Structure 1
Amino acid sequence: MSSLRLVPADALRIQAWANGAGTTTVIDSGPDEAHWAWRLSIADIAQDCDFSSFPGTRRHFVPLDAPLRLRFDAGRELSLLRLSVTCFDGAQAPHALLLDGPTRAFNLMLRGAAEGTLLARPLNGHMSLPLRAASRWFVHLLGGHAHVQADEQRMALTAGSNLWIDATHGGMARIEGGGELVLVQLAA
């Protein structure tokens, strides 16, 4: 059996960045808030700024609204188009340069043995997600509308919705609709 769980809007927490340069909306973390092995969040990037350093953390990162450039020590730079995913060591706190105005960015942060994958993509029609007992999916509907079905459960999503798909066995979840979404697969 699989279950669909919406993350209620009142469960989201806005936090100041550790370095004070911006704010982040924390969507969820686990196994608990204080000692997380994984964390999902959306950062508001309103100006060129330095990111906070997260030693011992692997960051998966995707700009949601506009492209940006990340400048790391030793002159290394990454130019990221909107919805293009990159990964980097959280101890490296890059300087973010806005190329087309403010943006938000989705972050998947992993520590220790935690494993996960971040995808950002358009939704046009339907797609299927494989369900395995050893993993679960998170869906953030960036824009548009969608319906998610897993086993006998079906749920409608609107822009900004956050949903967990928990699986206890194999099978498939189906997402139908139009818009853009961010998907995270976490190993359980």
Structure 2
Amino acid sequence: MLQRLPAPLLRDEPWANGAGTTTVLAIGPDPLAWQWRISIARDDRAAAFSVYPDTLRQLTPLDGRLQLRFSAAHAPATMAIDRLQVVRFDGAAAPRAVLPDGPTRVFNLMTRAGTTATLLARPLVGALLLPDAPRWFVHVFAGNAELRQTGDDRLDLQINDSAWASGACRLSGHGEIVLARFDEISAADPPART
């Protein structure tokens, strides 16, 4: 099963703490009581993250480096994150983001109990086999790609397009992608974008 989530349907939402905006790509199973949320935040200036208790945050900067500064109770107190490097931390920690290279987009995957997922970010040059998994989320943020399963089931993805896939599939093209592999998801089917 392949399902496209085209870029023209995206819209911005204010951060929970009011310090910026986020483009929500997918959320479920209920947008108001979500168990998983995939988004891209635009970080234009240093600011504190919103607090999300009982939430695992995974993120990667898409345009430039990011530095996260946590309270003294958190170890490590500072995380220096290179472009396309993925980090994970407790959403209750709410670090302050510092932008050593200036503004950057930050891809976020947040999960709560009942959902197990892994975030990956990488260049795409040629073909990549995505092994069998209950659910894959694919986002193309540079270049273009073709997502294909057995037979004629395929999607052409352009810059800022996203898609859901179930099972094993082949991703080919040129550019840069972010993938989220869901091994346990709290909703039977991915919802339409809000």
TM-score normalized by the length of structure 1: 0.92
Q: Distance in 1 between matches of 2:85 and 2:54?
A: 23
Alignment of 1:33-182 (within 5 A): 33-74=31-72, 76-132=77-133, 135-152=134-151, 153-167=153-167, 172-182=168-178
One-letter code aligned to 1:7: L
SS in 2 for 1:60: strand
Distance 1:115 1:96 in 2: 25
User: Could you tell me whether the CA contact under 8 Å between 1:38 and 1:111 is conserved in 2?
Assistant: yes
Aligned position for 1:7? 5
Asked whether the equivalents of residues 70 and 77 of structure 1 are also in contact (C-alpha less than 8 Å), the reply is: yes
TM-score by length of 2: 0.89
Q: Following the alignment from structure 1 to structure 2, what is the Cα–Cα distance between the partners of residues 15 and 6?
A: 21
Q: What do the CA deviations read for 1:32-72 (whole angstroms, capped 9, x no partner)?
A: 21111111000110001111100111100100110010000
Q: Cα deviations across residues 112-145 of structure 1 (Å, max 9, x unaligned)? A: 121000000011111101124xx20000001011
Q: How many residues align?
A: 180
> CA separation in 2, counterparts of 1:148 and 1:30?
23
The CA distance in 2 between the partners of 1:151 and 1:27, in whole Å, is 26
What is the aligned-residue identity percentage?
Answer: 47
Taking the aligned partners of 1:72 and 1:107, their CA distance within structure 2 comes to: 18
Runs of 5+ unmatched residues, structure 1: none
CA distance in 2 between counterparts of 1:139 and 1:29 reads: 14
**RMSD in angstroms over aligned alpha carbons?**
1.2
